[in-house]
Amino acid sequence: MRQEIPDKNIFMMCEKLNESAISELPAGYHIRTCRKDELDIWKAFHFDTIEEFKENEAFMTQYFSDVYAKNEDLFYQKCVFICDESFITDGTATPIATCFIWKSYGSINTIHWLKTLKGYEGKGLGRALLSVLMKNLPSEEYPIYLHTQPASYRAIKLYSDFGFALLSDETIGYRHNDLQECLPILKEYMPQKDFENLKITTAPKDFLAAVKTSKINQF
């Protein structure tokens, strides 16, 4: 029996979009931005049970305050939902996936909070959402970065398809990079071909300098 996957830090960078990874949004869904009255929905989105959300609600509230509150209007312009048109509540289609690109530390573009609700996984929604976000990002705005964990090995495969490589630097800002500990985990859980397709690189100096400008983890 496989043990629970530990919560470790993995960092990735995409220098250029791999356009062959792009896909279209499936029929029956549409993309819109998050409304201000949906902030609590967004906070809860990233947890699979109400109990798990309650345990992490204070963290999500603090994270929003630390990272987004100073540019709250921009958050609502950037944060997007995929909605299921077949489920309407109060005249609004139900959000079932979310993600956005955020300028962290005032200088680097980062992927934030990619999540598809259970029950909608495997429909290509995460790929379609990343496709919209990344193809709309001008080429001069690359590289783009993200932080993830080994338990998100399916997402890591997806990121790899789009051109993301694993960062090997020992420290990213004020966090230890656990890549060497995570590689055996990824090898165990990922299909062999997907694992072998993972690329590893080092981070640019300007990125490493930017993430040292604040002790708040902004991505």
pLDDT of residue 85: 86
pLDDT of residue 86: 83
CB 64 within 8 A of CB 165: no
pLDDT of residue 38: 95
- DSSP per-residue string spanning 55-90: HHHHHHHHHIIIIIGGGHHHHHHH-EEEEEEEEEET
Q: Is 95 helix (H, G, I), strand (E, B) or coil?
A: strand
pLDDT of residue 22: 98
pLDDT of residue 2: 60
Q: What is the pLDDT of residues 178-203, one digit of tens each?
A: 999 999 999 999 999 999 999 999 99
Two structure tokens written together for 78: 């950037």
CATH of domain 10-210: 3.40.630.30
pLDDT of residue 189: 97
Two structure tokens written together for 173: 């800002």
Cβ within 8 Å of residue 219, ≥6 positions away: 102, 104, 110, 111, 112, 145, 146, 147
Q: Domain coordinates of the chain in residue numbers?
A: 10-210
Residue spans of the chain under pLDDT 50:
1
